[in-house]
Amino acid sequence: MLASWENNIEMIKLLIEHGASLKEIDNDGFSAFDYISIKNNKNILEVFKNKGLSKQLEDKILTIDTNHGIDKNKLDEWLTEQKNKHELQKLSKILNKFSSDEKIRYTNHPLDEKLNYDIFRKDLEIGFEEISADLESLSDSLHQSISDLLFSEDETIQGWSSEIIKNEIEQGSLSSNLITELQDKVKKLIVVKPNDKKISLLKRFIEIRKSLKKEEDFELNIDLNSLKEITIDKFFTDTKRFEQAIETIFQDINENSKDDTKEVIVEASEISIDKVNMIEIRIIHIDSHSSQNSEDLKDTISKNGGNFKSIYNNLLSVCDWSIDTVCSDGRYRIEYLYPQIDNNKPHCNPIEDTIRSFTHILRFYK
């Protein structure tokens, strides 16, 4: 780890050649590849690639030794900051490339009639390589899912590198059911598009509600009627983590609601903040407010294993997240994920306006 952190190429080569343990991580859960990626040293990344070490962090190197002069406390603090980096605008721009970059856009757009599979496959490698490191640093799970669909030759996945898809393209079946289904799989991972019934915001919320209704103790009435008429634009994000966060929000509301507060309304609209266009989703727990004071509510995400911690982890670099509620000490907006404030540390901001109910606010870049 130390050699990776200090960008010592020769030491890394020497360690690998002399059989250094490649199966360990440090106490923070970081591998040598993590440190290299954080410092973005492309020369060392190339050394790892040449040695056959995967980008999925399957291979590990030596743990950090505090006897080598590293201030462990400062390093721990710095690593925590890296883990908690909230860069949703960066993630949105990366995923937008699946619509704007000719090298990878055909994975989720109609194929060109003159498409040559070998050229298409090579373009996929080049296009994905250009965004791979940044995407993995923001969401390794999404990186893995996309990588599987693009490059896995496993016929059970039927991705863009599978023999069956190759044959479809070479035979000119560019809009076959197999091709269309594969394009839909890619879109479902990265984009929410209101005018596409398969990946619309309404469709996703309906599926989440349907899944939760199967749980024995789930009693919320989730009103999605306002989503039927919305005219918001599409937006790009890690949709799986977004959906996991929404599910946890509903579960948390269900666990903490009283018998007379079982109503939830979901709303969505386009807004502009500091001339930046965003999509705002509001999950409103009718006639409910917090019994905690604002500081305690703010610190909820520090509790390991809690619902709010899970929501926080899933929404990191996915969307901004805040809560409007009446606390025991007044009306507040609790900013949990908001990049413009103090290196993304949660904040409590008093609100003068009336707050109608406990409300989760999620904001996405268009």
pLDDT per residue as tens digits for the range 293-321: 999 999 988 776 689 999 998 999 899 99
94 lies in the same domain as 76: no
Place of tokens 């899944």: 211
pLDDT at 13: 56
239 lies in the same domain as 324: yes
Q: Measure Cα distances from 129 to 110, 146, 147, 317 in Å.
A: 22, 12, 10, 20
> What average pLDDT does this structure show over 135-150?
93
- Helices marked H in 257-316 — which ranges? 294-298, 307-315
pLDDT at 216: 87
Tokens of 329: 């000490």
Domain boundary among 164, 190, 216: 190
Domain boundary among 166, 190, 214: 190
101 lies in the same domain as 232: no
Q: Measure Cα distances from 358 to 57, 299, 348 in Å.
A: 40, 17, 15
> Does 195 fall in a domain?
no
> Does 163 fall in a domain?
yes
> Does 102 fall in a domain?
yes
> Does 167 fall in a domain?
yes
Supply the CATH number for residue 274's domain. Answer: 3.30.565.10
Q: What range defines the domain where residue 176 resides?
A: 88-190
Q: Are 190 and 98 in contact (CB under 8 A)?
A: yes
pLDDT at 122: 96
185 lies in the same domain as 213: no
With 90 as the cut, is the pLDDT of residue 64 above it? no
Domain boundary among 83, 107, 136: 83
pLDDT at 259: 79
266 lies in the same domain as 237: yes
224 lies in the same domain as 347: yes
- Three-class secondary structure of residue 103 per DSSP: coil
18 lies in the same domain as 65: yes
Q: For residues 84 and 337, what is the distance between their CA atoms, to the nearest angstrom?
A: 10
> Does 13 fall in a domain?
yes
Percentage of the chain with pLDDT > 90?
55
251 lies in the same domain as 350: yes
Supply the CATH number for residue 71's domain. Answer: 1.25.40
- Three-class secondary structure of residue 270 per DSSP: strand
Q: Measure Cα distances from 73 to 57, 69, 222 in Å.
A: 24, 12, 46
**Position 287 confidence tier, pLDDT thresholds 50, 70, 90:** very high
**Position 334 confidence tier, pLDDT thresholds 50, 70, 90:** very high
Predicted TM-score (pTM) of the model is 0.78
With 80 as the cut, is the pLDDT of residue 196 above it? yes
> Does 214 fall in a domain?
yes
173 lies in the same domain as 135: yes
> Does 223 fall in a domain?
yes
> Does 196 fall in a domain?
no
How crowded is the C-beta side of 358, counted as CA atoms within 13 Å? 22
With 70 as the cut, is the pLDDT of residue 30 above it? no
Q: For residues 342 and 164, what is the distance between their CA atoms, to the nearest angstrom?
A: 51
Q: For residues 124 and 133, what is the distance between their CA atoms, to the nearest angstrom?
A: 15
pLDDT tens digits, residue range 249-281?
999 999 988 877 899 999 999 999 888 889 999
Place of tokens 């009336």: 354
226 lies in the same domain as 315: yes
Q: Measure Cα distances from 51 to 16, 55, 187, 223 in Å.
A: 8, 12, 33, 54
What is the total residue count of the chain? 366
224 lies in the same domain as 359: yes
62: DSSP letter: P
206 lies in the same domain as 344: yes
Number of domains making up the chain: 3
Q: For residues 82 and 218, what is the distance between their CA atoms, to the nearest angstrom?
A: 36
Q: For residues 324 and 81, what is the distance between their CA atoms, to the nearest angstrom?
A: 26
> What average pLDDT does this structure show over 333-353?
81
Q: For residues 293 and 328, what is the distance between their CA atoms, to the nearest angstrom?
A: 5
> What average pLDDT does this structure show over 164-170?
94
Calculate the CA 97 to chain-centre distance.
Answer: 16
**Position 49 confidence tier, pLDDT thresholds 50, 70, 90:** low
pLDDT tens digits, residue range 217-240?
999 999 999 998 888 889 999 999
